[in-house]
Amino acid sequence: MPLYRDEAVVLRAFPLGEADRIVVLLTKQHGKVRAVAKGVRRLKSRFGGRLEPLMRVDVLLAQGKSLDVVSQAVSITAYAGEICADYVSYEYANVMLEVADALVSHEYLDEYIPEYQDTSGQYRLLIAALSSLSHHKHAPVAIGMSYVLRALSLAGWSPRLTACVVCGKTEDLCYFSPTAGGVMCASDHTPESIICSHETRLQLCALAQGNWSVVDGTSIDNSTVCCIQQWVEYYLERPIRSMGLLHS
């Protein structure tokens, strides 16, 4: 089997048989990869804890027919330690991993996208967000929601937030509609649109742009999170379970 090396973030891991595990990796150069880590669940595994979610690793992979095989894994950054020590940070880390997993899967459905598409931008965005979360640079909700908006923007789904998507007016923007593509004015809003206050719209703009000087000066409210959740679930065409848990 041909070998290849890449950097990766472990998105998910689940058991296979008695001693093995399937890991789902977002790699820097090879898109999303599913691979078998043989013997990883044994006490004396040579992989140790390097193939757990929230680990950034340098991996050597053997290409297989349906699943690749992890030959080597060297830790680059262990985000899990700092993130898992704070439950709120852990919640938003799970949101980021689930969105990254769903987003790249969704892109692969397009028959015109090659098997190994360029996801280096998604990879860089994810490791930057995880680094910020592990170093507590900003509020976990702000890091998580900014990541979601910017990840979807990289995929081509950016909400229009500065003018009505129907008439183009820049005043009286008090509704938000994922199906319409962004904010709507009071005159043109549709029945399924949700109320979006001026403060919520400003928060959405700052999060989408990564404008941390503005974000850090405000408290992200539930309506902002609700708008982002509806946006991501509409375009990925699936519920994001970890976001649902934020409200439980």
For the entire predicted model, the pTM comes to 0.91
Question: Average pLDDT for residues 160-166, to the nearest whole number?
Answer: 97
Q: What does the alpha-carbon distance between residue 235 and residue 238 come to, in Å, rounded to a whole number?
A: 8
**Distance, CA of 140 to CA of 207 (rounded, Å):** 12
pLDDT number for residue 20: 83
Q: How confident is the model at residue 71 (pLDDT cuts 50, 70, 90)?
A: confident
Q: Where in the chain is the domain with CATH 2.40.50.140?
A: 3-78
Q: Which fold has domain 3-78?
A: OB fold (Dihydrolipoamide Acetyltransferase, E2P) (2.40.50)
Portions of the chain given CATH number 1.20.1440.120: 81-245
Burial group, residue 96, by CB count within 10 angstroms (0-12, 13-18, 19+): buried
Helix, strand or coil, per DSSP, at residue 176: strand
Percent of the chain with pLDDT over 70: 90
pLDDT of 130 over the 50 cut? yes
Segment 36-40 shows an average pLDDT of 80
Confidence of residue 228 (pLDDT cuts 50, 70, 90): very high
Q: Does residue 110 register a pLDDT over 70?
A: no
**Which among 132, 129, 133, 105 is positioned nearest to 117, based on CA atoms?**
105
101: part of which helix (H) or strand (E)? helix 87-108
Task: Look at residue 36 in the predicted model and tell me its pLDDT.
Answer: 87
Q: Which CATH superfamily is domain 81-245 in?
A: Recombination protein O, C-terminal domain (1.20.1440.120)
| C-alpha angle 222-140-105 in degrees, rounded to nearest 5 | 85
Among 41-45, 74-78, 81-85, the least confident range: 41-45
Mean pLDDT of the residues in the chain:
90
pLDDT over threshold 60, residue 160: yes
Quote the CA–CA distance of 181 and 157 in Å, as a whole number: 9
